[in-house]
Homo-oligomer: A and B are copies of this chain.
Amino acid sequence: MATTATTTSPADHAYRVCLIGSGGVGTIASLVLSKSRQAHVTAVLRSKFQYVSEHGWDIESIDHGTLQGWKPHRVVGSAAEAAVEDGKKVEFDYVVVCTKQLPDRNPVAPMIEPIMTAGRTTVVLIQNGIGIEDEIVAAWPTNTVMSSVSHIGSGIEEPNKVVQVGKDVSKMGVHYGPSSVVASTESSTSESGAEAEKTNVEKRAKAEAFVSMYNAGGAHICELVDDIEAARWEKLLWNGTFNTVCALTRSDVGEIQRSKGRETLLLPMMWEIWHIAEASGHALPDTIVQWMAYRLPDDCAYRASMLLDLENSRPMELEVILGNPLKVAKRLGVATPVMDVVYKLLQVEAWKIEQQGKK
């Protein structure tokens, strides 16, 4: 077991990795990390534990081919179970979180608490949204927090099949803080400049090791970037606009485009997001909005994830996709007239989904 995460040529299965959230994204991540031979991977499964621990996963992957009954090194039914092996507390180097981002319903910090070692375990959030690092930083202020912006296309077919149709392309990077959601003064630390510099070098090394491992495992492209927040805002140009408006209007991508909703709603919303990103110190190129708005054809029948959630009365990732960005906008004085209304309308939908869940 590695005692430091900065090792550049780790021994076989040197890193202890615990992965939580085994949907389409998480299961491929567990496969990639296992294939790297640098990690011993424990996967925490909840609803699927019984079936998968018996049958494994059947995987059809554009990156990894076909696998039958595949399992990571260890499959457990809870984080508490993952935390103990042979009667001893496991000290994980990395905890990789691939769950849906539902801070009100299923916050990440309590979920991973049993598998965290303060000052040691690096948290890797492969999740959507803005401001998702805050609760981790608050709970473990000296640990490294990274996040990934993934463009993989991968889903689950019941009960245990993973179909990955879109290549595993992602950006990863360290969250250096301060928080983008709460006022930055609250997040300032008492570290001196030199100490902070040293800490950041260590954080960066942990991220480098993880990205190196992820690429060694056969991911299509995993890029380590200096400003992962900018990449998160860039992805929000899609998730905060197409995803939300398609959900609200029960439209596929092509319908929004052909109806001119792209021009009346999505472009104004994209510029609102662009301006929040700029005001928060993560300026995106001017050209990105046009590219993001016009990259898909007008007959694109893609149904966004939030639309599928809404149609199936599943909780939507509304708070991290619109709620948190709007908090940032408010703090920084950025006008968001369209996002405001779309958010409030989707809050009505979220309330209805919550009522469904209570039945």
Partner of A344, one of B258, B265, B344, B347: B265
Write the nearest CB–CB distance from A279 to chain B, whole angstroms: 20
Closest to A269 in B: B341
Task: List residues 238-284 of chain A with CB under 8 A from any CB of chain B.
Answer: 245, 248-249, 251, 255-256, 258-261, 264-265
Partner of A352, one of B259, B341, B344: B259
Measured in the bound complex, the distance between the Cα atoms of B338 and A245 in whole Å is: 15
Q: Is A261 within 8 A of B347, CB to CB?
A: yes
For residue A261, which residues in chain B have a CB less than 8 angstroms away from its CB? 344-345, 347-348, 351
Closest to A349 in B: B249
Measured in the bound complex, the distance between the Cα atoms of B255 and A192 in whole Å is: 53
Write the nearest CB–CB distance from A28 to chain B, whole angstroms: 34
**Cβ-based interface call for A340 (8 A):** yes
For residue A251, which residues in chain B have a CB less than 8 angstroms away from its CB? 348, 352
Partner of A345, one of B248, B255, B260, B337: B248
Q: Is B345 within 8 A of A265, CB to CB?
A: yes
Known: A248-B248, A337-B340. A259 touches B345 (CB 8 A): no
**Cβ-based interface call for A224 (8 A):** no
Q: Is B351 within 8 A of A260, CB to CB?
A: yes
Q: Is B348 within 8 A of A255, CB to CB?
A: yes
For residue A264, which residues in chain B have a CB less than 8 angstroms away from its CB? 344, 347
Task: List residues 320-337 of chain A with CB under 8 A from any CB of chain B.
Answer: 337
Write the nearest CB–CB distance from A322 to chain B, whole angstroms: 13
Known: A265-B341, A337-B340, A344-B264. A351 touches B258 (CB 8 A): yes
**Cβ-based interface call for A342 (8 A):** yes
27 example contacts (A-B, Cβ-Cβ < 8 A) are as follows A248-B248, A248-B249, A248-B345, A249-B345, A249-B348, A249-B349, A251-B348, A255-B348, A255-B351, A255-B352, A256-B348, A258-B351, A259-B351, A260-B347, A261-B344, A261-B348, A261-B351, A264-B344, A265-B341, A265-B344, A265-B345, A337-B337, A337-B340, A337-B341, A341-B341, A342-B345, A345-B345
